[in-house]
Amino acid sequence: MAKKKVSIPQYGTVMRRGIQYYRTRITDADGKRVDLYAETSEELYEKELEARRQVEEAVFRRKHPTVAEYCEKWLLMQSAKVSSSTLKGYTQNMNNYIVKPLGDMYLSEVTADDIRLALIPLSQKSAGLYSTVNMLLKCVFYSAERNQLLDYNPCVGISAKGGKPGKKKNALTDEQVKLLLETVRELPPYVFIMIGLYSGLRREEILALQWDCVFLDVPTPYISVRRAWRTEHNRPVISTTLKTKAAQRDIPIPKCLADCLRQVKATSISEYVIADSKGQPLADSQFKRLWQYVVVRSTKERTYYKYVNGQSIKCKVTPIPGGHQKNNPKLVYSLDFDVTPHQLRHTYITNLLYAGVDPKTVQYLAGHENSKTTRRHRIFPGRGGIFGGGHPLLAAADLQRDGGLHLHPCACARGGAVFLHGHRLFCHRQAGKDAEIPKKDRHHIPGQHFALSAAEPLRGQFQGPNARSGADAAAL
């Protein structure tokens, strides 16, 4: 059968550099006019057909993107709102648990059953990972629905509950705290652990702490949280962007931590409290090596590989408490419990609650934006408390329980201690009634330190640069 003859349109011609070309114009996917050139009309006709096919495909893709394409677009939109570390976590989870099972499907083809099937492997993972991937799925499909790319959202009715519940990390007991400090006393992570246990700072807050935010030469030493640490490509980045607004706070510290920091400051060559040998903040890999001083001294089961006759054999070993490492006899397995950096903060908060400090005050000291986060810390009976009455806040604990006055951990710029009674903010004066602080004047409370004693549990005198005179204090 003879091949059907193709009807080729009549194209116009133009001269370019002395050569005659056939020319036509088409409209691309963005609505712009594009010129196409060829030396023969047949060649130009083929170019035109290919270009129109690509335009139609691009228009179709925009109206009907695949899951992988829209996930990539959603991540690009989020990059302007979230930190690089958060975006990295989103990208990794999305590629592993959304794009792999659903990436080749068009958004409009995905059904609720497809999503449930994609979530099945996550049921064997942690509840936290399951919740994160579930959130990402819903964000992607709800965004597509708002942009009218979907007639029906398949995520409607998908439960957020799933995964294996994680093992809860309890606060360290007083005996464990004592053993931990004795184990690392002469080791590099000692200062980090002391700050975590006795001020409750987050890891990123400790690693970003500079000496200009550590006030030791005042009646009540305190730490001011103003910076946070993060890493990009294993390089430290210090910024003033904290985890939440509540993370900016001033924390009074006990005598043991103040003495420890004075000793470190006397020999420090860096502006950072925790620094490397060159005085720079730690990178992510450097912090991991720092914490290995703790891990290698625990009795946690270890896995290693050895080669026998050219084959790799997996071996497990469980250290015995009090035993010594074979390759390093000086290293003793003295920690019969697991400890993480965040567990230090958890221990600090738990001990404050056990000591009777008002939960609202603990919420401030912990930098929690929501009080529910503070209430998640469990109190166990029979705990002695690691502060032993030496924390500045604990002097007022009995009065808080008996009198209902909730001490707020900052001092009033007008010369008295600030406390909360219900939801109202008051300033306690030495003479006269307690006066409520108007909302318009509350910005004068700088949130610096305060001095407490057993004799005057609610008396405090602000020592910072914004302290006011006695006449100003009497005007309250």
- CB burial of 139-153 (b: ≥16 within 10 Å; e: otherwise) equals bbbebbbeeebbeeb
In this prediction, residue 402 carries a pLDDT of: 40
pLDDT-derived band at 438 (thresholds 50, 70, 90) equals: low
| Mean pLDDT computed over 328-337 | 89
Instruction: Assign 320 to helix, strand or coil.
Output: coil
| Backbone torsions φ then ψ of 432, nearest 5 degrees | 85, -175
Question: What does DSSP say about strands 249-252 and 222-225: parallel, antiparallel, or unpaired?
Answer: antiparallel
The sign of the dihedral angle between the CA atoms of 46, 51, 57, 60 is negative
**pLDDT (mean) for 329-342:** 90
- pLDDT for the residue 4: 60
Q: By the 8 A CB rule, do 297 and 182 touch?
A: no
Q: Is 70 exceeded by the pLDDT of residue 123?
A: yes
pLDDT digits (tens, 9 = 90+) for 176-202: 999 999 999 999 999 999 999 999 999
**Alpha carbons 148 and 70: distance in angstroms, whole number:** 13
DSSP 8-state class, residue 30: T
The residue among 293, 250, 225 whose CA lies nearest residue 466 is: 250
How far apart are alpha carbons 128 and 399 in whole angstroms?
40
pLDDT at 280 over 60: yes
What torsion do the CA atoms of 364, 360, 245, 217 make, to the nearest 10 degrees? -20
The residue-averaged pLDDT of 328-343 equals 90
Summarised one tens digit per residue, pLDDT across range 420-437 is 444 444 444 434 444 444
Greatest alpha-carbon pair distance for the chain in Å reads 112
Q: What was the pLDDT predicted at 151? A: 84
Q: pLDDT at position 389, please?
A: 52
Distances (CA, A) of 153 to 104, 113, 132: 18, 12, 19
Spatial contact of 163 and 375, defined as CB atoms under 8 Å apart: no
Is pTM beyond 0.95? Reply is no
Question: CA 226 to CA 104: how far, in whole Å?
Answer: 45
Segment among 134-138, 145-149, 285-289, 381-385 with least mean pLDDT: 381-385
pLDDT band at residue 252 under the 50/70/90 scheme: very high
Summarised one tens digit per residue, pLDDT across range 129-174 is 999 999 999 999 999 999 888 888 899 888 888 888 877 778 899 9
Structure token pair of residue 89: 């976590």
68 CB neighbour count, 10 Å cutoff: 17
Which residues lie below 8 Å from residue 389, measured CB to CB, with a gap of 6+? 395
Measured from the Cβ of residue 371, the count of other Cβ atoms closer than 10 Å reads: 12
Residue 444 has pLDDT above 50, yes or no: no
CA 178 vs. chain centroid, Å, equals: 29
pLDDT at 80: 87
Look at residues 218, 267, 278, 274 and name the one whose alpha carbon lies nearest to residue 452. Answer: 218
The residue-averaged pLDDT of 449-461 equals 31
How many alpha carbons lie under 13 Å from residue 155 in its C-beta half-sphere? 18
Q: What is the pLDDT of residue 453?
A: 30
Q: What is the pLDDT at residue 300?
A: 86
